[in-house]
Structure formats: structure tokens, C-alpha cells
Amino acid sequence: MTSFVTGPVRVTVPATSANLGPGYDSLGLALELRDTLEAEVTGTGLVVEVEGEGAGAVSLDESHLVVRSMRAAFELLGQQPPGLRLRCRNLVPHARGLGSSSAAIVGGVVLARALVAGGELLLDDEAAFRLTADLEGHPDNVAPAFHGGFVISGNEAAPGERGDFWAVKASVDPRVGAVVFIPPTGVETKVARGLLPDRVPHADAAAGAARTALLVAALAGQPEQLHRATRDYLHQEYRRPAMPDSLALVDALRGDGVAAVVSGAGPTVLAFTDGDGSAHTHQLVARCPDRWVARHLAVSLDGARVE
């Protein structure tokens, strides 16, 4: 029978940025902005507390995404606990394209595993990652949230179907960092996805494949290629009606030679930097639009951590 550890367990999970321009649904990068989740097994009932992002808006019952993810992991681990107390301190903005749902899912799965004695033997990293991807429906954000760093991920099944998810971690040049420009209002992922066409021109697909391959090399050790490598043909322009201000900022930054993209499904804009806190980075932060928030973030080489 499954046994649970005594006392609280704490897990932190990074924000993530998916796509990175051309790598639609396949590339993701972990960023050093972390949600902190703390839980312990109790005798009965469920208590959920939330502070920070989502406080007063997200549910505090079994429908809470972290709780649902924990329940799915406990199911695979063999037993549900008699009661749970969960506390979430959220820093990752919601509905902004920075992986808040993936942070909740990955955090919940890793938290549940840590609450079970011998949990990592019962649910290894491969199985835990696949569970997070299945819960999210696609792996591009959960992969870097789980593994950290820069991750290439996909699905063995046919397009539009679920199957065996995979993830391969790639190297990131230590000079690479990012400035994220976060707008005051969000866009739901399903709305952003709904604007995409079922088909794209073959030339656009070919150009996107070339840029995606170049982006892997640019992030690994040739950051001078990031502007060329982040040119997107597949999704950003189609999403302009839902986030015109974001695409206007991308256009302005790219026009000045900055490797800027829509982060995930948006509307946050991510601009790559050399990661050293240079004058160029400060100049980028100074270009933040009114009522938006700009943050200079390092790449998080660690994914979800038990602390």
C-alpha cells in the first residue's frame, strides 16, 4: 500500500515560453520566474490557498488545476491521500503566454510524487513528464517546466491526436537571456489557437523549418543568429487580431534588429538578450509600453525542483 511522507513538501516551477518564433508547438524555454507550491497530506478534506497571480479568481476546490494534476499523479502512484492542504504562491502571470497552466500541471505532478514515499521509483521522470503532457494536451510548455532549459518536444501520434510524447533537452549559450513585456490583459490560449488556419503555404512551412533548425543552433552557441532564427511564418501574423499591440511591439523591435517574438500563445512579447545585464538590456526594458510590465529573466536551467 502507498505510504505518504510526513509534513509539508515544497516545489518550485519555472515560467516557460513556447514556440520562440518558428518552433510552433515544438520548442520551449524555461525562464527564471517561479511559482511555489507547498502541500501536505492531512487526515481529511481539501484546503487550497492561493496568493499572487490568480488569487481571488481561480477555484479553491477539486477543480483547481494543481489539485487535478495531483489527483492524476496519485492515481498512477496507487492511492489517493485521505486529505490535502495546498498552498500556491504564484508569480507566473495567467493567460499571458508564459506557461502558467503548465507550471500548475508540472508542479502538481511533481508535488504529488514527492508526497509519496519512494514516489520517484513508482513514477519515474519519463512517466511523470508524459503524464504532464497528456494533461496539458501538448508538450511544448510542460517539457521545459519539467526538465528546465531549452527543450525540443513532440508527439509520436498523428497530427491532432495524442500519443507518446517525447522531449529532448538542448544546450543554451550562457550569454542568452530574455526581456519579457507583459501586457495588462491576457488572451486565452484557445482563442489564439482558434485564429490559426488548418493549412499554410508550402513555402511558409519550408521557411519555418529552416528557421527552427537555425534557432536550435543559435541558442546553443551562435546568439548573433537569433534575429534571423526567430522569424516566424506559421502563427504570429494570424494571431494579430487578438493581440494587435503585441504584434506592433514585435514589429518595432524586430525592425531595430532585436530578436523579438510572441511568447507562446501570447500576448506577452519576448525579446532575446545577451543575458549579462548590459546597456542593451536596459534599453530594451525602457521600451516597455505604458501599463505593461517588463522583466529581464535569465534562462532557468532547472525545471521543477523539490525544495
DSSP 237: G
Are the CB atoms for 21 and 231 separated by under 8 Å?
yes
User: 150-155 and 165-170: which strand pairing?
Assistant: antiparallel
The overall average pLDDT reported for the chain is: 94
Q: What is the CATH number of domain 177-296?
A: 3.30.70.890
Place of cell 494536451: 137
What does the pLDDT read at residue 276?
56
Kindly tell me if the per-residue pLDDT of 84 is higher than 60.
Answer: yes
Of 91-100, 214-223, 272-281, minimum mean pLDDT range: 272-281
Vertex 115 angle, CA 112 and 117, to 5°: 120
Place of cell 508538450: 139
Indicate the annotated binding residues for ATP.
Answer: 93-103
Q: Where in the chain is the domain with CATH 3.30.230.10?
A: 9-171+302-306
Average pLDDT of the residues in 229-237: 96
Which long-range contacts (C-beta less than 8 Å, at least 24 apart) are formed by 157-165? Answer: 162/134, 162/137, 164/130, 165/129, 165/130, 165/133, 165/134, 165/139
What does the pLDDT read at residue 20?
98
Amino acid at 286: A
pLDDT, tens digit, 9 for 90 and up, residues 265-301: 999 999 999 755 577 788 999 999 999 999 999 999 9
Amino acid at 126: E
d(CA 145, CA 280): 28
Sheet order of strands, 293-298 included: 260-262, 269-273, 177-182, 293-298
pLDDT, tens digit, 9 for 90 and up, residues 159-207: 666 678 999 999 999 999 999 999 999 988 888 888 998 999 999 999 9
Q: Where in the chain is the domain with CATH 3.30.70.890?
A: 177-296
d(CA 125, CA 120): 7
> Sign of the C-alpha dihedral, residues 286, 299, 186, 207?
positive
| 9-171+302-306 maps to CATH 3.40.50.2300 | no
Indicate the annotated binding residues.
Answer: 93-103
Q: Around Cβ 85, how many Cβ atoms within 10 Å?
A: 15
Amino acid at 205: A
**N-to-C CA span, the chain:** 26
